[in-house]
Structure 1
Amino acid sequence: MGQYDHVDKIPLTAKAQLRRGIATERGRVPRFFVQLEYLLGDEWAEIVRFDHDEDAEGGHDVTEEGVHMDVYRDGEKIDTVQVAGPMPASEALDLAEDHLAEELQRLIRRFEQWHNLSPNRDSDR
């Protein structure tokens, strides 16, 4: 996986954050990831992940393959959900962030149920 120009961690609730990495080259986006994470103990666990890397062998190129979301449970990827067809990477990045914003509460609740966790008390923020 290539390097990213920017990696941000955006707190969403007391136990959930959005981690995002973006690489740009001359105004275009050759690589990105957008990942929803949950604090388990003292480590962040993946809930879901969107990614794009046009140069990686075996990487996901949203301009050819479309936009998908990897779903994680117990630290393992258990499913891949197709979200949209092929599109420019900058649009796919926006779509990934919008999709997570719309589905945030449902994704967090499902993760908490799967892992027998108490509901995130401030997840309604």
Structure 2
Amino acid sequence: MSAPSLPTGYDVSKHVSTGRRDCLITVGFDRRRRRIPRFLVQLYYRVSTDPIEWTWIARMDHNETSALGHDVYHEGLHVDVDRQSKRPVHLKLAHSPLPSSRGDVIRRCVNYFKREAAYFIDVYEERRSPGRPPSWSDGGKPTPTFIPSQRVEEGMSREAPADADIISDEELTELLAEAEGRTPEEVERGAAEIEIAPPEEATVVDE
């Protein structure tokens, strides 16, 4: 099967099935003494079948090792969303407090992209506008600003198709649990406790 190339420069890089023939998820993360200091989760969309061509349409990242990185524990979860003829848009997601386990967060991000794949395809195809304009009835303004998608390090993700082995959700959970010295059950339980609002309710930043 042809698939998008894996993220490069990470200790672990894998493809994860979405349950759809036209979408795949790639996951890359580092391992440091039972911690995951950096990760990248991307949703890919198959834009052509002859020849097969993939493009990323949504991605979530965390990097606490670089001053240029996006730290979800300080800035919250956000999604960079690509569009066919317009610049990528950045969505600030409403979510419950994040657990200290980065493995739980990665697992939840993967589930989120699987659940919301149709939405991100519609935004990429420009059949709908991203997010929903926020209502600031108290006159306040959104304070967080997000790192533009261009700051996701160049070369981390190559667009060319490649043959790939696709792992299951269970296998991803096992890899994350091993990286943090935990059990798969703990990762699954922690991920399930993270609540993330639908992207329709997100705040659009830097459109």
Which of these two proteins has the greater Rg computed from alpha carbons?
Answer: 2
Cα shift at 1:65: 1.2
Residue 31 of structure 2: which of 20, 24, 44 is its match?
24
Cα shift at 1:104: 2.0
- In the alignment of these two chains, the number of paired residues is 114
Structure with greater proportional strand content: 1
Aligned equivalents of 1:96 and 1:6: distance in 2? 16
Cα shift at 1:25: 0.8
The 5 A counterparts of 1:103-118 are: 103-111=116-124, 113-114=125-126
Structure 2 portions without partners, runs of 5+: 1-7, 128-207
Q: Look up the SS of the partner of 1:49 in the other structure.
A: strand
TM-score (norm 2): 0.48
Output the amino acid matched with 2:126.
Answer: W
Aligned equivalents of 1:3 and 1:86: distance in 2? 29
Aligned to 1:54: 64
> What's the RMSD between the two structures over aligned residues?
2.6
Structure 1 portions without partners, runs of 5+: 116-125
TM-score (norm 1): 0.74
Aligned equivalents of 1:65 and 1:85: distance in 2? 13
Out of 67-76 and 49-58, give the one that drifted further.
Answer: 67-76
Output the amino acid matched with 2:120.
Answer: L
Aligned to 2:114: 101
Cα shift at 1:51: 0.4
Q: Cα deviations across residues 86-112 of structure 1 (Å, max 9, x unaligned)?
A: 63333332331222122123223443x
2:13 maps to 1:7 = yes
Aligned to 1:122: none
Contact 2:83 2:123 in 1 (8 A): no
